[in-house]
Amino acid sequence: MAEGDNRSSNLLAAETASLEEQLQGWGEVMLIADKILRWERAWFPPAVVGVVSLVFLLIYYLDPSVLSGISCFVMFLCLADYLVPILAPRIFGSNKWTTEQQQRFHEICSNLVKTRRRAVGWWRRLFTLKEEKPKMYFMTMIVSLAAVAWIGQQVHNLFLTYLIVTFLLLLPGLNQHGIISKYIGMAKREINKLLKQKEKKNE
């Protein structure tokens, strides 16, 4: 068991080091984005919502086709991938990095690797469920996709995308400040109260 844990830790460290090397040119930008997404200042959340709203209003105004929208998005990613590693060191000065900044960059990369592992793990579990319990797999997939299709039919695609993007960008800050765990705890307490009341009525 200990040998397996050590092997997993070594693999995680190797993947993290590889990702750090790949994203080294993005280090300064990632640190700033990390501060914004974790709400280190009180005005960061409304700033995030404001920027996302402005971008989606621009998309709504321009009303591009799907192909044009995807092309522009990929073109923006390509430009960022080319320009950010060149301009970021000149603007921020990567040679001025402190030990604390380097440690935080390492933690960010480690969290990204762990998130990728979780996603792969869930994907594998899905295929395991398909092999072991095919009926449950197909019923779950059909019900889930039908629910998503119904929501997509009721809500405008662009507005639904706006809500999803906004939620995902606010999620790190919500976790960091314990807001999600707070409301999950409240929901659990309310459910427990309802269950206890139901048990008393049955008695």
Contact 105, 20 (CB under 8 A): yes
- 21 lies in some domain: yes
Q: Is residue 200 part of a domain?
A: no
Domain count, the chain: 1
- Full residue range of the structural domain in which residue 121 is found: 1-63+96-155
Residue 166, in any domain of the structure:
no
Q: What value does the mean pLDDT take over residues 48-69?
A: 92
Position 94 scores a pLDDT of: 56
Contacts for 161 with CB less than 8 Å, ≥ 6 apart: 56
What is the Cβ-side half-sphere exposure of residue 114, based on CA atoms within 13 angstroms? 8
* Model-wide pTM > 0.85: no
Classify residue 133 by its DSSP letter. Answer: -
Interatomic CA distance for residues 149 and 181, integer angstroms: 29
Q: Which of 24-33, 46-55, 105-114, 130-139 has the highest mean pLDDT?
A: 46-55
Q: Is residue 34 part of a domain?
A: yes
The closest of 157, 158, 138 to 149, measured between CA atoms, is 157
Asked if the structure places residue 119 within a domain, the reply is yes
- Is 164 part of a structural domain of the chain? no
Q: How many CB atoms lie within 10 A of CB 39?
A: 19
In a domain, 190, yes or no: no
